Structure 1
Amino acid sequence: MRATPALFGMSDAPQPIGVFDSGVGGLSVLREIRALLPSEELLYVADSGHAPYGDKPVPQVQARAERIIGFLLAQQVRAVVVACNTVTGLSIQALRQQFPQLPLVAIEPAVKPAVAATRSGTVGVLATHNTVRSPGLARLIAAHAGPVRVLAQACPGWVEMVERGELDGAASRAAVSACLEPLLAQGADVLVLGCTHYPFLRPLIEQRAGPGVLVLDPAAAVARELQRRLPRPAALTATATGTTHFWSSGDCAHAAGLIARLWGEPVRASALPV
Structure 2
Amino acid sequence: MSAQSIATTAPLLFFDTGVGGLSVLREVRKLLPTAPIVYAADYAGLPYGTKSEGELAARVPALLGRLVERYKPQLVTIACNTASTIALDYVRAALNIPVVGTVPAIKPASLMTKTGVIGLLGTQATIRQGYVDRLASEFAANKTLLRHGSPDLVYAAEAKLRGEKPDQPVIQAAVDGLLSQPGGDNMDVMILACTHFPLVQSELQEAIGRDIQFVDGSKGIARRIEHLTAGTIWPSVPDNGIFVTTGQLDEMDAYRPVLQSFGLEHVETL
- Corresponding letter in the other structure for 2:89: Q
Match of 1:119 in 2: 114
TM-score by length of 1: 0.87
Structure 2 residue ranges without an equivalent (≥5): none
Hey, what's the Cα distance between the residues in 2 that align with 1:65 and 1:232? 29
Alignment-derived partner of residue 141 in structure 1: 136
Please point out which of 55, 60, 80 is paired with 1:60: 55
1:231–1:70 distance in 2 versus 1, CA, 3 Å: farther
**Structure 1 residues 68 and 34 mapped into 2: Cα distance closer, same or farther (>3 Å)?**
farther
Instruction: Give 1:267's aligned residue.
Output: 265
Superposition map of 1:22-101 within 5 A? 22-74=17-69, 75-99=71-95, 101=96
Q: 1:263 to 1:221 in 2, by over 3 A?
A: farther
Cα pair 1:253 1:269 within 8 Å, conserved: no
- TM-aligned CA deviation for residue 95 of structure 1: 2.1
Identical residues among aligned pairs (%): 29
2:178 aligned residue (183, 193, 202): 183
State the alpha-carbon separation in 2 of the partners of residues 150 and 204 from structure 1.
Answer: 22
Match for residue 105 of structure 2?
110
Aligned length: 260
Moved more, 157-166 or 130-139: 157-166
Distance in 1, Cα, partners of 2:193 & 2:124: 11
**1:174 Cα shift?**
1.2
Q: Deviations over 1:226-270 (max 9, x none)?
A: 111127513434xx2243111011222222422533663673311
User: TM-score, normalised to structure 2's length?
Assistant: 0.88
Match of 2:146 in 1: 151
Point out where structure 1 has 5 or more consecutive residues left out of the alignment: 1-8
Residue 39 of structure 1 and its aligned partner are, at CA, apart by 1.6
The answer to whether the Cα contact below 8 Å between 1:129 and 1:156 also exists between their aligned partners in 2 is yes
Instruction: Indicate yes or no: 2:221 matched with 1:243.
Output: no
Partner of residue 195, structure 1: 194
Counterpart code for 1:36: L
| Cα distance in 2, alignment partners of residues 263 and 123 from structure 1 | 35
- Match of 2:29, as an amino acid? R
CA distance in 2, matches of 1:154, 1:167: 25
Match of 2:14 in 1: 19
Deviation string, structure 1 residues 141-178 (Cα, Å, up to 9, x no partner): 11110210111110131112333447765x72211111
Deviation at 1:69, TM superposition (A): 1.6
Find the residue that maps to 2:24 and give its secondary structure: helix
